[in-house]
């Protein structure tokens, strides 16, 4: 117990300093992307002077802090309390009546059977939603939170309801990552692609690094930069608007003593991470590999929620618009190197929105592994100054079902801070089993 409390105190102390804002250096493999003028998409014209009253807009996006699984600030917090806190926040901060929400869709990955749906439904009750508001869960592994937001946007666009919540929850303290498939079909042995599908994600990270020449030093440098940027963002108070402080308890495993705490800061960040420290770590998946605990995303606990509605409804209520949902795409990729997903998902989402890479001001790309993050940035020739400007999952943590919704909160609040100079942003991630997802957002008028 004392270690977890001490970790939060030490982190806050470190973050009172001023970490350097160095940029990570990614050698660029040029991939030409034709600049295109914003045109029509499935969400209407992307023209500020011709906004459509039927646009799907984001009114609020909040998250909990993200904490280390099993030993962080949430290790003794029921997962439904995490979700309840953010569901309650998006309603209370906008004065939207809970009874008006057409559906709550929650991305969540690891819990068996219907267990997590039960928790999510309970969380809605704890947050003050009446029994008339339905809840469902969605699981597309690492993109589940973003998929939840996209599902709600699609349902609003289709006219099924005017107001909905896309959310995400993962409690990896309790639910462990499954490393083997139970009762696999014997046909797997006859199909090479199916065998690749069953590879552990760490091995696919090694495959990608070897196939595309991503070095250990590049991966470690990306990790250092992720921690530096996350620490600097925390020091500057950039996460305060998106994080909902959560009063909870922490229990000493030896004595059973309980202490009340308020978790309001991400406790996975290591502000003093250096290349020298990371170089000492042994490979986690292959003896001569390059993927380590230090250049991979962290197993963690967290939740996030995004409130969406039709623009017409938001205007009628005079609610400030944080962002506009413009497009979403998922793609399938080679399961043996599943980390390449964003390389294909981002262009697909941009095409749907009528945009090109040159139109995008900010990117949030999930750092599942530094190997795939580095490769995707290099392949798409992205400007490092536009990517994960406040750090990513290597520093912040990757609570699988929550990450996509967390990225929405992080991206839109950063776009709000930057104002008129930041119009479009993209969120993307690779997905276990060999897929990729991406979404395009436009800054709102807040």
> 147 in helix, strand or coil?
helix
Task: State the pLDDT at residue 8.
Answer: 53
> 91 in helix, strand or coil?
helix
Is 142 part of the annotated catalytic residue set?
yes
Residue with tokens 């998922």: 330
> 196 in helix, strand or coil?
helix
Task: State the pLDDT at residue 187.
Answer: 85
Q: Phi/psi zone of residue 70: left (φ > 0), alpha (ψ -120 to 50 degrees), beta?
A: left
> 114 in helix, strand or coil?
coil
Which residue in 142, 268, 376, 407 is the catalytic one?
A: 142
Task: State the pLDDT at residue 172.
Answer: 96
> 231 in helix, strand or coil?
helix
Task: State the pLDDT at residue 212.
Answer: 98
Which residue in 62, 227, 398, 413 is the catalytic one?
A: 398
Task: Give Cβ neighbours of residue 401 (< 8 Å, ≥ 6 apart).
Answer: 106, 107, 108, 109, 110, 139, 144, 145, 168, 169, 170
> Residues 244, 63: contact at Cβ < 8 Å?
yes
Task: Round to whole Å and give the CA distance between 388 and 396.
Answer: 11
- Domains (range + CATH), the chain: 54-176+199-441 (3.40.47.10)
Task: Give the number of other CB atoms < 10 A from CB of residue 327.
Answer: 23
Q: What is the pLDDT of residues 278-294, one digit of tens each?
A: 999 999 999 999 999 99
Structure tokens at 34: 């034709």
Task: State the pLDDT at residue 188.
Answer: 84
| Angle ∠(339,340,341) on CA atoms, nearest 5 | 90
- Per-10-residue mean pLDDT, the chain, length 446: 55 47 36 29 45 93 97 97 98 97 97 90 98 97 98 98 98 80 77 83 95 98 98 98 98 93 97 96 93 96 98 96 98 96 98 98 98 98 98 98 98 97 97 96 88
Distances (CA, A) of 387 to 25, 74, 217, 229, 253: 12, 28, 19, 11, 40
Q: Phi/psi zone of residue 193: left (φ > 0), alpha (ψ -120 to 50 degrees), beta?
A: alpha
DSSP tag of 184: -
Is 430 part of the annotated catalytic residue set?
yes
Task: Give the number of other CB atoms < 10 A from CB of residue 421.
Answer: 8
Question: CA end-to-end span of the chain, whole Å?
Answer: 41
Task: Round to whole Å and give the CA distance between 431 and 192.
Answer: 19
Is 120 part of the annotated catalytic residue set?
no
Element (H or E) spanning 63, and its range? strand 56-63
């Amino acid at each position: 117990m004392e270690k977890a409390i001490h970790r939060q105190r030490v982190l806050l102390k470190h973050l009172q300093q001023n970490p350097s804002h160095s940029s990570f250096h990614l050698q660029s493999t040029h991939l030409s992307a034709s600049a295109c003028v914003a045109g029509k998409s499935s969400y209407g014209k992307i023209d500020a002077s011709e906004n459509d009253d039927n646009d799907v807009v984001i009114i609020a996006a909040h998250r909990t802090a993200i904490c280390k699984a099993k030993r962080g600030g949430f290790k003794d917090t029921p997962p439904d309390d995490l979700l309840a806190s953010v569901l309650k926040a998006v309603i209370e901060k906008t004065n939207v009546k809970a009874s008006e929400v057409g559906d709550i869709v929650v991305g969540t990955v690891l819990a068996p059977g219907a267990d997590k749906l039960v928790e999510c439904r309970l969380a809605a009750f704890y947050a003050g939603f009446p029994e008339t508001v339905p809840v469902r869960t969605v699981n597309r592994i690492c993109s589940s939170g973003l998929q939840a937001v996209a599902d709600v946007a699609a349902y609003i666009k289709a006219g099924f309801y005017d107001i909905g919540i896309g959310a995400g929850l993962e409690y990896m303290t309790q639910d462990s990552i499954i490393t083997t498939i139970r009762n696999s079909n014997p046909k797997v042995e006859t199909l090479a692609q199916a065998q690749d599908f069953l590879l552990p994600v760490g091995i696919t990270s090694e495959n990608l690094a070897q196939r595309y020449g991503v070095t250990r030093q590049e991966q470690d440098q990306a990790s250092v930069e992720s921690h530096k940027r996350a620490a600097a963002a925390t020091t500057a108070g950039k996460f305060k608007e998106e994080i909902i402080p959560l009063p909870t308890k922490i229990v000493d495993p030896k004595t059973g003593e309980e202490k009340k705490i308020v978790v309001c800061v991400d406790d996975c960040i290591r502000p003093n991470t250096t290349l020298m420290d990371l170089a000492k770590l042994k490979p986690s998946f292959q003896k001569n590999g390059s993927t380590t605990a230090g250049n991979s995303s962290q197993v963690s606990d967290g939740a996030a929620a995004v409130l969406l509605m039709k623009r017409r409804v938001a205007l009628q209520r005079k609610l400030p618009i944080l962002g506009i949902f413009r497009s979403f795409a998922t793609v399938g990729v080679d399961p043996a190197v599943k980390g390449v997903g964003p390389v294909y998902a981002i262009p697909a989402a941009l095409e749907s929105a009528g945009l090109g890479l040159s139109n995008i001001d900010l990117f949030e790309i999930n750092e599942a592994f530094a190997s795939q993050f580095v490769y995707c940035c290099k392949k798409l020739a992205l400007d490092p100054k536009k990517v994960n400007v406040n750090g990513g999952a290597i520093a912040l943590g990757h609570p699988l079902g929550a990450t996509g919704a967390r990225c929405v909160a992080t991206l839109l609040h950063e776009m709000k801070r930057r104002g008129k100079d930041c119009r479009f942003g993209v969120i993307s991630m690779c997905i276990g089993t060999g897929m990729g997802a991406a979404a395009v957002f436009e800054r709102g008028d807040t």
